[in-house]
Amino acid sequence: MEKRELLYEGKAKKVFKTNDPDLLIVDYKDDATAWNGEKKGTIPGKGAVNNRMTNYIFRILEEKGIPTHYVQELSDRETVVKKVKILPLEVIVRNAAAGSFSKRLAVEEGLELLNPTVEFCYKDDRLGDPLIDASYMPALGIASQTEMNKMVEYALTINEILMPFLEEKKLRLVDFKLEFGRYMDQIILADEISPDTCRLWDTETNDKMDKDRFRQDLGEVEEAYIEVARRLGL
């Protein structure tokens, strides 16, 4: 696989073209941002943890029938992925109240929800990634009703797979963000599943072991990422 010119650089990753037009190379960075880029910093080793964890989980999900963009891990930070057309959506699954959910509804953080919820946010930093109603997507041509239904189905299935898996590692999956894309007219999982995109709490102490440590200036951010990787055997 030949790595070619930089195609795109985001807040957490660089994406490169390859000699295969259907494949890209993703290079994970140690850069960290919060509040739609208003807060910036660096978490040493974050890129390697996120890359390895994402690939590990994506392989598990593929075995369970969830299609993903994962192709091959090249190194601690680089992975070959399918070239997908990312939808401008964040799909958020919540098992407990936290973050914006707690603030919007004045619900105590950590309260276990009676059932998982699925939210859609429109990806646009200028607008603050606003929460949108499911009917907006077909109305604005972002995604069809069929595609929206498929994303909800996949999101809830992923939750059912990950919750007990992480519980075994003494990690409570409070909530997590997913991104999907179109690949050959099929909706598939893309982006990442990592401490950047999940709220992970220690099941015994409720210590936060994710990017909230960076967002909230809790300290020991690097150590939390490393501990998550250690528990997953990465």
- pLDDT tens profile 88-145: 999 999 999 999 999 999 999 999 999 999 999 999 989 999 999 989 999 999 999 9
Q: Which token pair is 110?
A: 């950590």
Q: Domain of 171? A: 85-220
Res 37: pLDDT: 67
206 and 152 in a common domain = yes
Do 59 and 119 lie in one domain? The reply is: no
Instruction: Give pLDDT < 70 ranges for the chain.
Output: 37
The DSSP-derived string for 171-215 is EEEEEEEEEEEEETTEEEEES--STTTEEEEETTT--B-STHHHH
SS3 87: coil
How high is the pLDDT of residue 191? 97
**Length of the chain as a residue count:** 234
- 131: Cα separation from own chain's centroid: 17
Question: Which pTM value belongs to this model?
Answer: 0.95
Has residue 45 been placed in a domain? yes
On whether residue 229 sits in a domain, the answer given is: no
For residue 18, the model assigns a pLDDT of 97
Separation between Cα atoms, residue 26 and residue 15, nearest integer Å: 5
Which residue, 22, 30, 86, 78, is CA-closest to 54?
A: 78
How high is the pLDDT of residue 147? 96
- Tally of domains within the chain: 2
* DSSP bridge pairs for 200: 173
| 230, part of any domain | no
32 and 139 together in one domain = no
Give the separation between CA 132 and CA 130, rounded to whole angstroms: 6
Boundary (domain end) residue, out of 82, 100, 125: 82
Domain boundary among 28, 58, 82: 82
| Two structure tokens written together for 69 | 């963009």
**Boundary residue ending a domain (30, 64, 82):** 82
| Same domain as 75, residue 153 | no
- Average pLDDT over the chain reads 95
